[in-house]
Amino acid sequence: MDAAVVTPRVFNFAAGPAVLPLPVLEQAQRELLALPGCGASVMEISHRSKAFEAVLEDAKSRLAALLGLPANYRILFLQGGARLQFSMIPMNIVRGTGQPADYILTGSWGKNALKEAQREGTVHVAWDGKASNYDHVPTDAELQLSPHAAMVHMTSNETIEGVQFRRAPAVGTVPLVCDASSDFLSRPVDVRQYGIIYACAQKNVGPSGVTVVVIREDLLARSQESLPGYLSFAVHAENNSLWNTPPTFAIYMVGLVARWLQDEIGGLARMHELNARKAARLYDVLDASGGYYRGHARPDCRSLMNVTFRLPTPELEAEFLTAAKSRGLVELKGHRSVGGIRASIYNAMPVAGVEKLCEHMQDFAQHHPA
Ligand SMILES: *Cc1c(COP(=O)(O)O)cnc(C)c1O
Protein backbone atom coordinates (compact mmCIF):
# COMPACT_ATOMS: atom_id res chain seq x y z
CA MET A 1 0.00 0.00 0.00
CA ASP A 2 1.07 3.53 -0.79
CA ALA A 3 1.82 5.38 2.45
CA ALA A 4 0.50 8.59 0.86
CA VAL A 5 -3.07 7.26 0.77
CA VAL A 6 -3.22 6.27 4.42
CA THR A 7 -6.32 7.85 6.02
CA PRO A 8 -5.39 10.67 8.40
CA ARG A 9 -6.33 10.14 12.04
CA VAL A 10 -9.25 12.06 13.54
CA PHE A 11 -9.74 13.11 17.15
CA ASN A 12 -11.85 10.22 18.35
CA PHE A 13 -14.07 10.95 21.36
CA ALA A 14 -15.70 7.50 21.35
CA ALA A 15 -16.78 6.08 24.72
CA GLY A 16 -15.41 2.62 23.91
CA PRO A 17 -13.75 0.99 22.15
CA ALA A 18 -11.86 4.24 22.35
CA VAL A 19 -8.73 6.09 21.37
CA LEU A 20 -5.41 4.38 22.14
CA PRO A 21 -2.08 6.15 22.61
CA LEU A 22 -0.48 6.68 19.20
CA PRO A 23 2.95 5.44 20.37
CA VAL A 24 1.26 2.21 21.47
CA LEU A 25 -0.37 1.68 18.08
CA GLU A 26 2.93 2.45 16.38
CA GLN A 27 4.81 -0.04 18.52
CA ALA A 28 2.17 -2.70 17.87
CA GLN A 29 2.49 -1.95 14.16
CA ARG A 30 6.28 -2.31 14.26
CA GLU A 31 6.03 -5.58 16.16
CA LEU A 32 2.97 -7.00 14.42
CA LEU A 33 4.79 -9.36 12.07
CA ALA A 34 7.47 -10.47 14.50
CA LEU A 35 7.61 -9.96 18.23
CA PRO A 36 11.19 -8.96 19.15
CA GLY A 37 13.25 -12.05 19.90
CA CYS A 38 10.47 -14.33 18.74
CA GLY A 39 10.16 -14.13 14.96
CA ALA A 40 6.38 -14.61 14.88
CA SER A 41 3.45 -12.34 15.60
CA VAL A 42 2.11 -12.30 19.14
CA MET A 43 -1.13 -13.48 17.49
CA GLU A 44 0.57 -16.57 16.12
CA ILE A 45 2.26 -18.02 19.19
CA SER A 46 1.08 -20.44 21.84
CA HIS A 47 -0.30 -18.93 24.99
CA ARG A 48 1.93 -21.44 26.78
CA SER A 49 5.13 -20.41 24.97
CA LYS A 50 8.01 -18.73 26.78
CA ALA A 51 7.51 -15.69 24.56
CA PHE A 52 3.88 -15.23 25.53
CA GLU A 53 4.59 -15.98 29.16
CA ALA A 54 6.97 -13.01 29.04
CA VAL A 55 4.25 -10.83 27.49
CA LEU A 56 1.77 -11.83 30.21
CA GLU A 57 4.22 -11.31 33.06
CA ASP A 58 5.29 -7.96 31.62
CA ALA A 59 1.67 -6.74 31.44
CA LYS A 60 0.98 -7.99 34.96
CA SER A 61 4.07 -6.52 36.54
CA ARG A 62 3.60 -3.15 34.86
CA LEU A 63 -0.03 -2.96 36.01
CA ALA A 64 1.06 -3.97 39.52
CA ALA A 65 3.74 -1.28 39.53
CA LEU A 66 1.35 1.42 38.30
CA LEU A 67 -1.27 0.46 40.91
CA GLY A 68 1.23 -0.01 43.73
CA LEU A 69 -0.40 -3.41 44.09
CA PRO A 70 -0.14 -4.91 47.59
CA ALA A 71 1.26 -8.48 47.72
CA ASN A 72 -2.10 -9.98 48.69
CA TYR A 73 -3.82 -9.02 45.44
CA ARG A 74 -3.89 -10.90 42.13
CA ILE A 75 -4.38 -9.65 38.58
CA LEU A 76 -6.51 -11.76 36.24
CA PHE A 77 -7.05 -11.31 32.51
CA LEU A 78 -10.52 -12.55 31.60
CA GLN A 79 -12.95 -12.44 28.72
CA GLY A 80 -16.66 -11.65 28.49
CA GLY A 81 -16.23 -7.94 29.17
CA ALA A 82 -17.34 -6.07 32.24
CA ARG A 83 -20.78 -7.56 31.58
CA LEU A 84 -19.64 -11.06 32.47
CA GLN A 85 -18.21 -9.67 35.70
CA PHE A 86 -21.70 -8.40 36.56
CA SER A 87 -22.62 -12.11 36.88
CA MET A 88 -19.30 -13.69 37.76
CA ILE A 89 -18.69 -11.46 40.77
CA PRO A 90 -21.92 -12.34 42.59
CA MET A 91 -21.49 -16.01 41.58
CA ASN A 92 -18.06 -16.09 43.19
CA ILE A 93 -18.35 -13.60 46.02
CA VAL A 94 -21.98 -13.86 47.15
CA ARG A 95 -23.06 -17.44 46.35
CA GLY A 96 -23.01 -19.65 49.42
CA THR A 97 -22.62 -16.81 51.90
CA GLY A 98 -26.34 -16.45 52.64
CA GLN A 99 -25.70 -12.71 52.74
CA PRO A 100 -27.11 -9.97 50.50
CA ALA A 101 -25.06 -7.88 48.10
CA ASP A 102 -25.30 -4.09 48.36
CA TYR A 103 -25.39 -1.98 45.20
CA ILE A 104 -24.73 1.74 44.91
CA LEU A 105 -26.52 3.00 41.79
CA THR A 106 -24.98 6.12 40.27
CA GLY A 107 -25.99 5.46 36.67
CA SER A 108 -26.73 3.04 33.86
CA TRP A 109 -23.85 0.62 34.40
CA GLY A 110 -24.55 0.21 38.07
CA LYS A 111 -28.15 -0.60 37.20
CA ASN A 112 -27.02 -3.16 34.64
CA ALA A 113 -24.74 -4.75 37.24
CA LEU A 114 -27.62 -4.93 39.71
CA LYS A 115 -29.88 -6.63 37.16
CA GLU A 116 -27.41 -9.48 36.72
CA ALA A 117 -26.78 -9.80 40.45
CA GLN A 118 -30.53 -10.19 41.03
CA ARG A 119 -30.39 -13.48 39.10
CA GLU A 120 -27.81 -14.79 41.53
CA GLY A 121 -29.06 -13.89 44.97
CA THR A 122 -30.45 -11.28 47.30
CA VAL A 123 -29.50 -7.72 46.47
CA HIS A 124 -30.04 -4.52 48.35
CA VAL A 125 -29.89 -1.05 46.84
CA ALA A 126 -27.78 1.02 49.23
CA TRP A 127 -28.31 4.24 47.28
CA ASP A 128 -30.03 5.15 44.04
CA GLY A 129 -29.45 8.41 42.18
CA LYS A 130 -32.58 8.02 40.08
CA ALA A 131 -34.51 10.93 41.63
CA SER A 132 -32.04 13.44 40.18
CA ASN A 133 -31.50 11.46 36.97
CA TYR A 134 -28.08 10.16 38.06
CA ASP A 135 -26.27 13.48 38.19
CA HIS A 136 -24.24 12.87 41.35
CA VAL A 137 -22.75 10.31 43.71
CA PRO A 138 -23.75 9.80 47.36
CA THR A 139 -21.97 10.97 50.46
CA ASP A 140 -20.97 8.23 52.89
CA ALA A 141 -23.75 9.34 55.26
CA GLU A 142 -26.38 8.75 52.57
CA LEU A 143 -25.46 5.09 52.04
CA GLN A 144 -27.91 2.60 53.53
CA LEU A 145 -25.65 -0.39 53.83
CA SER A 146 -26.92 -3.80 54.95
CA PRO A 147 -25.65 -4.86 58.34
CA HIS A 148 -24.13 -8.08 56.94
CA ALA A 149 -23.49 -7.71 53.22
CA ALA A 150 -21.28 -10.12 51.28
CA MET A 151 -19.98 -7.20 49.19
CA VAL A 152 -20.77 -3.63 48.15
CA HIS A 153 -20.74 -2.85 44.43
CA MET A 154 -20.02 0.59 43.00
CA THR A 155 -19.22 2.10 39.60
CA SER A 156 -16.34 4.54 39.96
CA ASN A 157 -17.17 6.35 36.73
CA GLU A 158 -20.57 6.16 35.07
CA THR A 159 -19.59 6.26 31.42
CA ILE A 160 -23.03 7.18 30.10
CA GLU A 161 -24.02 9.90 32.56
CA GLY A 162 -20.49 11.26 33.10
CA VAL A 163 -20.58 11.03 36.89
CA GLN A 164 -17.50 9.99 38.86
CA PHE A 165 -16.59 9.25 42.47
CA ARG A 166 -13.67 11.36 43.72
CA ARG A 167 -12.77 8.72 46.31
CA ALA A 168 -13.95 5.33 47.48
CA PRO A 169 -17.08 5.33 49.65
CA ALA A 170 -16.53 4.14 53.22
CA VAL A 171 -18.10 0.69 53.60
CA GLY A 172 -16.34 -0.64 56.68
CA THR A 173 -14.89 -4.12 56.40
CA VAL A 174 -17.26 -5.40 53.71
CA PRO A 175 -15.38 -6.03 50.42
CA LEU A 176 -15.90 -3.08 48.11
CA VAL A 177 -16.22 -4.17 44.48
CA CYS A 178 -15.58 -1.49 41.90
CA ASP A 179 -16.49 -1.42 38.23
CA ALA A 180 -13.69 0.87 37.03
CA SER A 181 -14.19 0.11 33.36
CA SER A 182 -14.06 3.72 32.24
CA ASP A 183 -11.52 5.21 34.64
CA PHE A 184 -9.07 2.39 35.39
CA LEU A 185 -5.48 3.70 35.32
CA SER A 186 -6.71 7.28 34.94
CA ARG A 187 -5.57 8.29 38.45
CA PRO A 188 -3.81 6.81 41.47
CA VAL A 189 -5.91 4.38 43.46
CA ASP A 190 -5.50 2.96 46.94
CA VAL A 191 -6.11 -0.69 46.05
CA ARG A 192 -6.35 -1.66 49.73
CA GLN A 193 -9.74 0.04 49.91
CA TYR A 194 -11.19 -2.52 47.50
CA GLY A 195 -11.86 -6.23 47.46
CA ILE A 196 -12.11 -6.25 43.66
CA ILE A 197 -11.45 -3.67 40.97
CA TYR A 198 -12.43 -4.70 37.46
CA ALA A 199 -12.31 -3.00 34.09
CA CYS A 200 -12.98 -4.04 30.53
CA ALA A 201 -9.96 -2.83 28.58
CA GLN A 202 -11.58 -1.01 25.69
CA LYS A 203 -12.21 2.31 27.43
CA ASN A 204 -8.88 3.25 28.89
CA VAL A 205 -6.49 0.31 28.88
CA GLY A 206 -6.39 -1.45 25.53
CA PRO A 207 -8.54 -3.04 22.85
CA SER A 208 -11.77 -4.94 23.51
CA GLY A 209 -11.47 -8.63 24.34
CA VAL A 210 -9.85 -8.56 27.74
CA THR A 211 -11.12 -7.56 31.17
CA VAL A 212 -8.68 -6.88 33.98
CA VAL A 213 -9.76 -8.14 37.41
CA VAL A 214 -7.75 -7.11 40.47
CA ILE A 215 -8.83 -9.28 43.38
CA ARG A 216 -7.79 -9.61 47.01
CA GLU A 217 -6.46 -13.10 47.57
CA ASP A 218 -8.67 -14.07 50.50
CA LEU A 219 -11.76 -13.58 48.31
CA LEU A 220 -10.62 -16.43 46.05
CA ALA A 221 -11.64 -18.82 48.81
CA ARG A 222 -15.28 -17.85 48.23
CA SER A 223 -15.37 -19.42 44.73
CA GLN A 224 -17.30 -22.65 45.13
CA GLU A 225 -16.11 -25.93 43.59
CA SER A 226 -19.46 -26.33 41.84
CA LEU A 227 -18.87 -23.30 39.60
CA PRO A 228 -18.14 -23.99 35.94
CA GLY A 229 -14.37 -23.70 35.50
CA TYR A 230 -14.41 -20.59 33.38
CA LEU A 231 -16.67 -18.79 35.83
CA SER A 232 -14.45 -19.40 38.85
CA PHE A 233 -11.99 -16.72 39.98
CA ALA A 234 -10.12 -19.40 41.91
CA VAL A 235 -9.57 -21.44 38.74
CA HIS A 236 -8.25 -18.43 36.83
CA ALA A 237 -5.99 -17.41 39.70
CA GLU A 238 -4.58 -20.94 40.11
CA ASN A 239 -3.82 -21.05 36.41
CA ASN A 240 -2.40 -17.53 36.10
CA SER A 241 -5.16 -16.57 33.61
CA LEU A 242 -4.08 -19.48 31.38
CA TRP A 243 -6.78 -22.02 32.20
CA ASN A 244 -8.14 -21.54 28.70
CA THR A 245 -6.54 -19.62 25.85
CA PRO A 246 -6.63 -15.99 26.94
CA PRO A 247 -7.03 -13.05 24.54
CA THR A 248 -3.32 -12.94 23.81
CA PHE A 249 -3.18 -9.92 21.53
CA ALA A 250 -5.36 -7.82 23.85
CA ILE A 251 -3.15 -8.69 26.82
CA TYR A 252 -0.08 -7.71 24.81
CA MET A 253 -1.74 -4.34 24.06
CA VAL A 254 -2.58 -3.78 27.73
CA GLY A 255 1.12 -4.31 28.44
CA LEU A 256 2.07 -1.67 25.86
CA VAL A 257 -0.42 0.82 27.31
CA ALA A 258 0.97 0.20 30.81
CA ARG A 259 4.48 0.76 29.52
CA TRP A 260 3.36 4.02 27.87
CA LEU A 261 1.86 5.16 31.18
CA GLN A 262 5.09 4.38 33.00
CA ASP A 263 7.69 5.58 30.53
CA GLU A 264 6.04 8.37 28.57
CA ILE A 265 3.48 9.73 31.03
CA GLY A 266 5.36 9.04 34.25
CA GLY A 267 2.76 7.14 36.26
CA LEU A 268 -0.80 7.56 37.44
CA ALA A 269 -0.36 10.74 39.49
CA ARG A 270 0.98 12.48 36.41
CA MET A 271 -1.77 10.94 34.27
CA HIS A 272 -4.37 12.26 36.71
CA GLU A 273 -2.92 15.78 36.48
CA LEU A 274 -3.14 15.68 32.70
CA ASN A 275 -6.67 14.27 32.79
CA ALA A 276 -7.79 16.93 35.28
CA ARG A 277 -6.34 19.65 33.10
CA LYS A 278 -8.05 18.32 29.95
CA ALA A 279 -11.42 17.99 31.69
CA ALA A 280 -11.15 21.45 33.28
CA ARG A 281 -10.67 23.01 29.84
CA LEU A 282 -13.97 21.53 28.64
CA TYR A 283 -15.95 22.23 31.80
CA ASP A 284 -14.64 25.82 31.79
CA VAL A 285 -16.02 26.31 28.29
CA LEU A 286 -19.31 24.81 29.43
CA ASP A 287 -19.53 27.07 32.49
CA ALA A 288 -18.57 30.18 30.54
CA SER A 289 -21.24 29.60 27.88
CA GLY A 290 -23.99 31.42 29.78
CA GLY A 291 -26.16 28.31 29.89
CA TYR A 292 -25.80 27.49 26.18
CA TYR A 293 -24.06 24.24 27.11
CA ARG A 294 -25.67 22.53 30.08
CA GLY A 295 -23.60 19.87 31.81
CA HIS A 296 -25.42 16.79 33.09
CA ALA A 297 -23.35 16.05 36.20
CA ARG A 298 -23.31 18.15 39.32
CA PRO A 299 -20.03 20.09 39.34
CA ASP A 300 -18.59 18.21 42.33
CA CYS A 301 -19.24 14.84 40.62
CA ARG A 302 -18.17 15.66 37.08
CA SER A 303 -16.30 12.90 35.34
CA LEU A 304 -12.77 13.56 34.15
CA MET A 305 -13.31 10.86 31.51
CA ASN A 306 -16.77 11.42 29.97
CA VAL A 307 -17.95 15.00 29.65
CA THR A 308 -21.72 15.00 29.06
CA PHE A 309 -23.75 18.06 28.14
CA ARG A 310 -26.72 19.37 26.17
CA LEU A 311 -27.30 22.22 23.77
CA PRO A 312 -30.47 24.35 23.77
CA THR A 313 -32.29 22.01 21.32
CA PRO A 314 -31.87 18.54 19.80
CA GLU A 315 -31.65 20.23 16.38
CA LEU A 316 -28.67 22.29 17.52
CA GLU A 317 -27.11 19.13 18.94
CA ALA A 318 -27.39 17.43 15.55
CA GLU A 319 -25.85 20.45 13.85
CA PHE A 320 -23.11 20.59 16.46
CA LEU A 321 -22.16 16.98 15.71
CA THR A 322 -22.10 17.51 11.94
CA ALA A 323 -19.97 20.63 12.26
CA ALA A 324 -17.63 18.84 14.68
CA LYS A 325 -17.17 16.00 12.25
CA SER A 326 -16.14 18.38 9.49
CA ARG A 327 -13.32 19.52 11.83
CA GLY A 328 -12.14 15.97 12.44
CA LEU A 329 -13.84 15.67 15.87
CA VAL A 330 -15.85 12.45 15.85
CA GLU A 331 -17.96 10.14 18.04
CA LEU A 332 -19.33 12.96 20.18
CA LYS A 333 -22.96 11.82 20.21
CA GLY A 334 -24.28 11.04 23.68
CA HIS A 335 -25.40 7.52 24.53
CA ARG A 336 -28.78 6.65 22.99
CA SER A 337 -30.34 6.39 26.44
CA VAL A 338 -29.57 9.99 27.47
CA GLY A 339 -28.99 11.93 24.24
CA GLY A 340 -27.00 15.15 24.07
CA ILE A 341 -23.25 15.25 23.63
CA ARG A 342 -20.61 13.10 25.29
CA ALA A 343 -16.93 13.80 24.88
CA SER A 344 -14.92 10.84 26.14
CA ILE A 345 -11.45 12.12 26.95
CA TYR A 346 -9.65 9.05 28.25
CA ASN A 347 -5.92 8.92 28.99
CA ALA A 348 -5.01 8.64 25.33
CA MET A 349 -6.97 11.71 24.15
CA PRO A 350 -4.29 14.29 23.39
CA VAL A 351 -4.57 17.81 24.82
CA ALA A 352 -4.70 19.04 21.20
CA GLY A 353 -7.97 17.13 20.68
CA VAL A 354 -9.53 18.77 23.73
CA GLU A 355 -8.30 22.21 22.65
CA LYS A 356 -9.83 21.71 19.24
CA LEU A 357 -13.14 20.65 20.75
CA CYS A 358 -13.16 23.72 23.04
CA GLU A 359 -12.59 25.91 20.02
CA HIS A 360 -15.45 24.19 18.20
CA MET A 361 -17.78 24.66 21.17
CA GLN A 362 -17.01 28.36 21.42
CA ASP A 363 -17.34 28.97 17.68
CA PHE A 364 -20.56 26.99 17.45
CA ALA A 365 -22.26 28.80 20.34
CA GLN A 366 -21.28 32.12 18.84
CA HIS A 367 -22.64 31.30 15.38
CA HIS A 368 -25.76 29.40 16.45
CA PRO A 369 -27.52 31.44 19.12
CA ALA A 370 -30.28 29.66 21.02
C1 LIG B 1 -18.42 -0.16 28.90
C2 LIG B 1 -18.75 -0.43 30.29
C3 LIG B 1 -19.24 -1.68 30.69
C4 LIG B 1 -19.53 -2.81 29.72
O5 LIG B 1 -18.36 -3.38 29.23
P6 LIG B 1 -18.43 -4.63 28.22
O7 LIG B 1 -17.00 -4.94 28.00
O8 LIG B 1 -19.16 -4.19 27.00
O9 LIG B 1 -19.15 -5.72 28.92
C10 LIG B 1 -19.49 -1.86 32.04
N11 LIG B 1 -19.27 -0.90 32.94
C12 LIG B 1 -18.82 0.32 32.59
C13 LIG B 1 -18.59 1.36 33.64
C14 LIG B 1 -18.54 0.59 31.26
O15 LIG B 1 -18.09 1.80 30.90
Question: Which atom of ligand 1 sits closest to the CA of residue 160?
Answer: 15
The residue whose CB lies within 8 Å of the most ligand 1 atoms, and thus the one to mutate among 77, 79, 88, 109, is 109
What pLDDT digit, counting tens, does each position of 274-312 carry? 999 999 999 999 999 999 999 999 999 999 999 999 999
- What confidence score (pLDDT) does residue 34 get? 97
What pLDDT digit, counting tens, does each position of 7-21 carry? 889 999 999 999 999
- What confidence score (pLDDT) does residue 47 get? 98
Split at pLDDT 50, 70, 90, the class of 4 is low
* Mean pLDDT rounded to a whole number for the chain: 97
Domain ranges for the chain = 26-264, 268-367
- What confidence score (pLDDT) does residue 336 get? 83
Taking a C-beta distance cutoff of 8 angstroms, is the pair 85, 213 a contact?
A: yes
**Catalytic positions, please?**
109, 179, 203
Percent of the chain whose predicted confidence (pLDDT) is above 70: 99
The residue whose CB lies within 8 Å of the most ligand 1 atoms, and thus the one to mutate among 114, 160, 181, 182, is 181
344 touches ligand 1 (CB under 6 Å): no
Backbone angles phi, psi at 38, to 5 degrees: -125, -40
Cβ burial 347-367 (10 Å sphere, 16+ → b, else e): bbbeeebbebbbebbeebbee
Split at pLDDT 50, 70, 90, the class of 6 is confident
Q: How far is the CA of 153 from the centre of ligand 1 (A)?
A: 14
Second-level CATH architecture of 268-367: Alpha-Beta Complex (3.90)
Second-level CATH architecture of 26-264: 3-Layer(aba) Sandwich (3.40)
How far is the C-alpha of 348 from the C-alpha of 181, rounded, in Å?
Answer: 15
Looking at ligand 1, which residue's alpha carbon is closest to its atom 10?
Answer: 82
What pLDDT digit, counting tens, does each position of 74-105 carry? 999 999 999 999 999 999 999 999 999 999 99
Split at pLDDT 50, 70, 90, the class of 338 is confident
How far is the C-alpha of 358 from the C-alpha of 354, rounded, in Å?
Answer: 6
- What confidence score (pLDDT) does residue 1 get? 52
Give residue 297's identity as a one-letter amino acid code: A
- What confidence score (pLDDT) does residue 3 get? 57
How far is the C-alpha of 366 from the C-alpha of 132, rounded, in Å?
Answer: 30
Single out the residue of 124, 167, 158 nearest to residue 143, CA to CA.
124
Looking at ligand 1, which residue's alpha carbon is closest to its atom 2?
Answer: 181
Percent of the chain whose predicted confidence (pLDDT) is above 90: 96
- What confidence score (pLDDT) does residue 2 get? 57
Question: Which atom of ligand 1 sits closest to the CA of residue 208?
Answer: 7
Over range 202-230, report the average pLDDT. Answer: 98
